[in-house]
């Protein structure tokens, strides 16, 4: 009997599978399809201080082996997330939740993290300093070690839960930024958010997305995620939640061998709403195929091969 359990900063998960923020809403809609308690955890929709409508349409563009999105952090705001969305989720999911928090200023990050920290079911706070499809915020905080460290330090000062900094791949040295977050007190790293891309309509000769640029997700970015997780694992001692292009159990094993402890599944949920369940069902079989008894034994295993 294989053991799929992993531990993230003291939070034990039955398996490493976590639906990624932005691709799973606030989760409860998926409860109509399967029992959410089979998940390791889930990361809910990116949340800001004030409600956000998001970017203008079109927000989605197909690409070979993936998609571009420029939703723009549409969400009802932190107060309604706490008063309305979390109670609905608590009714159908009974494990610690990953709270994804976004912002446009240090004050906003601090405000939202301090509020969500008080919610009992929140197990980990995932601080998104890497959103590629909003203007004047989000990713700008995650592109320099100094600003990433400043947000980390400020958030850690007002929270008691583990804080994981979600990093952008749209940088020259992601390991340097991860190291800065670790030194500022981060408990873990989430990576990668989406690389930036553009698609152009050949008939109109204009960008397909209303925002022009969007974040690329889907199987095409898996090798980028593996490479960056590899680099960050070599640079830090704190755990990594890996993501980027995961659509099957073998992808989970690959990210874990590169250095991830938890694995988020994003765009695959949009293509196949049963993706997370299928990956969880597949995982023990793939572990047996490769002679893996305990998932924790393979974390970073490729570095010692």
Per-residue pLDDT of the chain (305 residues; tens, 9 = 90+): 899 999 999 999 999 999 999 999 999 999 999 999 999 999 999 999 999 998 999 999 999 999 999 999 999 999 999 999 999 999 999 999 999 999 999 999 999 999 999 999 999 999 999 865 454 455 568 889 999 999 999 999 999 999 999 999 999 999 999 999 999 999 999 999 999 999 999 999 999 999 999 999 999 999 999 999 999 999 999 999 999 999 999 999 999 999 999 999 999 999 999 999 999 999 999 999 999 999 999 999 999 87
> How many angstroms separate the CA atoms of 172 and 155, rounded?
25
The per-residue pLDDT for 138 is 56
> How many angstroms separate the CA atoms of 125 and 132, rounded?
20
Phi, psi of 215 (to 5 degrees): -95, 130
> How many angstroms separate the CA atoms of 172 and 181, rounded?
16
> How many angstroms separate the CA atoms of 16 and 8, rounded?
9
> How many angstroms separate the CA atoms of 57 and 45, rounded?
19
The per-residue pLDDT for 143 is 86
Residue from 296, 9, 231, 216 nearest 126 by CA:
9
Phi, psi of 90 (to 5 degrees): -60, -30
> How many angstroms separate the CA atoms of 5 and 195, rounded?
30
Give the CA angle between residues 163, 151, 84 to the nearest 5°: 60
Instruction: Report the catalytic residues.
Output: 131
Question: pTM score > 0.75 for this model?
Answer: yes
Asked if CATH classification 3.20.20.70 holds for the domain at 6-54+71-200+215-304, the reply, yes or no, is: yes
Strand order in the sheet with 196-197: 60-63, 66-69, 214-217, 196-197
The per-residue pLDDT for 216 is 97
The per-residue pLDDT for 132 is 57
């Amino acid at each position: 009997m294989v053991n799929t359990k992993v531990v993230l900063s003291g939070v034990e998960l039955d398996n490493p599978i976590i639906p990624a923020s932005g691709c799973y809403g606030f989760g409860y809609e998926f409860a109509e399809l399967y029992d959410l308690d089979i998940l390791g955890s889930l990361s809910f929709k990116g949340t800001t201080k004030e409600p956000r409508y998001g970017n203008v349409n079109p927000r989605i563009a197909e690409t070979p082996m993936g998609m571009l999105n420029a939703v723009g952090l549409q969400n009802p705001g932190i107060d309604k997330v706490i008063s309305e969305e979390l109670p609905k989720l608590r009714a159908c999911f009974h494990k610690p939740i990953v709270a994804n928090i976004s912002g446009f200023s240090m004050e906003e990050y601090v405000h939202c993290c301090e509020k969500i920290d008080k919610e009992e079911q929140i197990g980990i706070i995932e601080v998104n300093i890497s959103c590629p499809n909003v203007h004047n915020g989000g990713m700008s905080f995650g592109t320099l070690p100094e600003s990433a460290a400043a947000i980390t330090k400020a958030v850690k000062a007002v929270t008691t839960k583990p804080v994981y900094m979600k990093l952008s791949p749209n940088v020259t040295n992601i390991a340097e930024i991860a190291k800065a977050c670790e030194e500022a007190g981060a408990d873990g790293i989430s990576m990668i958010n989406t690389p930036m891309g553009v698609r152009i309509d050949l008939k109109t000769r204009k960008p397909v997305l209303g925002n022009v640029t969007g974040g690329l997700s889907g199987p095409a970015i898996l090798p980028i995620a593996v490479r960056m997780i590899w680099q960050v694992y070599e640079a830090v001692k704190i755990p990594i939640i890996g993501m980027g292009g995961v659509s099957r159990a073998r992808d989970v094993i690959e990210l874990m061998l590169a250095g991830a402890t938890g694995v988020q599944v994003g765009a695959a949920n949009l293509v196949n709403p049963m993706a997370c369940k299928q990956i969880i069902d597949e995982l023990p079989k793939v572990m047996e195929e490769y002679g893996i008894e305990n998932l924790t034994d393979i974390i970073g295993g490729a570095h010692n091969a």
